[in-house]
Amino acid sequence: MFRANWTAVVTVLCIGFSAHFNSVAAQDRRVPSSPAELRLSYAPIVQRVQPAVVNVYAAKVVQNRNPLLDDPIFRRFFGGGQQQEQVQRSLGSGVIVDASGLVVTNVHVIEGADQVKVSLSDKREFEAEIVLKDSRSDLAVLRLKDAREKFPALEFTNSDELMVGDVVMAIGNPFGVGQTVTHGIISALARTQVGITDYQFFIQTDAAINPGNSGGALVDMNGRLAGINTAIYSRSGGSQGIGFAIPANMVRVVVASAKSGGKAVKRPWLGAKLQAVTPEIAESLGLRSPTGALVASVVPNGPAAKAGLKSSDLITGIDGQTVDDPNAFDYRFATRPIGGSAQIDVQRGGKPLKLAIALETAPDTGRNELVVTARSPFQGAKVSTITPAVADELHLDADTEGVVITELGDDSPAAQVGFQKGDIILAVNNQKIGKTGDLEKAAGVSQRIWRITLVRGGQQINVTLGG
């Protein structure tokens, strides 16, 4: 699987070069002066890095369900029949990041898989277990089963030190043809408008990346992991010179959580809602350009409030790094380790000041996740009470109340009636739903008519369903 479904608009600019420039360029051309210059190669880096890049195979068993079996008359005359099983397979890449056999790949490569296999560069195959999935960053960590050896692993580079123009190589398994190496440069940094994960902060490269490269390595010229390839911008499905990678500093955070035994990534909680600075807001604030992250609201008693951050403050930097927009701040803040504090640069009323924000996790007591099993429109939905941690994960206002759907089985009744991940259930048959226990109780009562009030995309919706 691979993220490559955008509609691209391609503009070609034809630029005429002057005769003078051509004459200068001709003077700079020269024939290689020695056999050594002809032998310049990336091969030493590839040989060192390639053994740590793997192929990831995911398989999922699905039922081929005949819709005619829903008709009782059809079942009476033709029998119930048997539902045929079909195995859906997906192919991607991965990177060994620890000698014990920890592998990083993309969540979308192994999403919903019943079985995951990893093939090494020497053709050996291992079953793999999923240690951690972090949908917010589209990163997953696998562990090779029955591994009794030390594996070649890649070290992380500091992705904050990368520069546009740096040479990089992409290694993965495009189109399933086998391990392939391509090279190019870093075309841009801090891309925040890609729209595929919660943390919009990507490395852009022109190294050829294609379907199957998902989860593969983007490495620098020191043979260190600069990022995990995750998406391309294409209208043909193939590489058009615009690929995106998740920076190594975000990958490092996810791997650290997996190593510590966590099932979820622990990240700092700001306790404030940020918004982008529009040209109109910039003009009203007397800014020369619309940059920074504007504080829209602050959660009482949260880290931001305790540090003295206020609504209408403009965040311009964190720990000495410039913040251009809320996405940049979210990424910078999320990659800070828990504990200690981060120093943020703020403009308040046109005057600069510095605030120290404590790096602590959001309160998460009372989440009480459960899967609704009672025969009802909610059957098969995984739901959670909205805690500050849940609100932070789903980008909800901190004072949001109710129960939110966090997962849906593809063939579950809840999915079939039209519920979506992120729906907030406020009431069922005029009964307020404040926690998951309330929804479980309401779903357990047989009803001919279900009247449901929910919030989707900020809009309140009233739904009536038959029992």
State how far the alpha carbon of 225 is from the alpha carbons of 114, 133, 246, 249, in Å. Answer: 29, 20, 11, 10
Q: Is 160 a catalytic residue?
A: no
| Residue 79 Cα to chain centre, angstroms | 45
The three-state (H, E, C) secondary structure of the chain, written as one string:
CCECCCCCCCCCCCCCCCHHHHHHHHHHCCCCCCHHHHCCCCHHHHHHHHHHEEEEEEEEEEEECCHHHHCHHHHHHHCCCCCEEEEEEEEEEEEEEECCCEEEEEHHHHCCCCEEEEECCCCCEEEEEEEEEECCCCEEEEEECCCCCCCCCCCECCHHHCCCCCEEEEEECHHHCCCEEEEEEEEEEEECCCCCCCCCCEEEECCCCCCCCCCCEEECCCCCEEEEEEEECCCCCCCCCCEEEEEHHHHHHHHHHHHCCCCCCCCCCCCEEEEECCHHHHHHHCCCCCCCEEEEEECCCCHHHHHCCCCCCEEEEECCEECCCHHHHHHHHHCCCCCCEEEEEEEECCEEEEEEEECCCCCCCCCCCEECCCCCCCCCEEEEECCHHHHHHCCCCCCCCCEEEEEECCCCHHHHHCCCCCCEEEEECCEECCCHHHHHHHHCCCCCEEEEEEEECCEEEEEEEEC
Rounded Cα distance, 166 and 392, in Å: 35
Q: What is the pLDDT of residues 355-374, one digit of tens each?
A: 999 999 888 888 889 999 99
Amino acid 98: pLDDT: 94
Q: Are strands 167-172 and 381-385 parallel, antiparallel or unpaired?
A: unpaired
Q: How confident is the model at residue 192 (pLDDT cuts 50, 70, 90)?
A: low
What share of the chain in percent tops pLDDT 90? 42
pLDDT over threshold 70, residue 432: yes
- DSSP strand pairing (381-385 vs 370-371): antiparallel
Average pLDDT, the chain: 83
For residue 60, pLDDT over 80 is answered with no
194 pLDDT band, cuts 50/70/90, is: low
Return the pLDDT at 174: 83
Catalytic option among 90, 93, 108, 234: 108
Catalytic residue among 90, 119, 214, 412: 214
Quick one: pLDDT at residue 71? 58
Which pLDDT value is given to residue 17? 33
State the average pLDDT over residues 203-219.
88
20 is catalytic: no
341 classed as catalytic: no
Distance between CA atoms of residues 71 and 77, nearest Å: 10
Of 57-66, 214-223, 407-416, give the range with the top mean pLDDT: 214-223
pLDDT of residue 207: 87
Average pLDDT over residues 205-225: 89
Asked if pLDDT for residue 78 goes beyond 80, the answer is no
Identified catalytic residue from 90, 93, 134, 138: 138
Q: Sort 434 into a burial class: Cβ within 10 Å, 0-12 / 13-18 / 19+.
A: middle
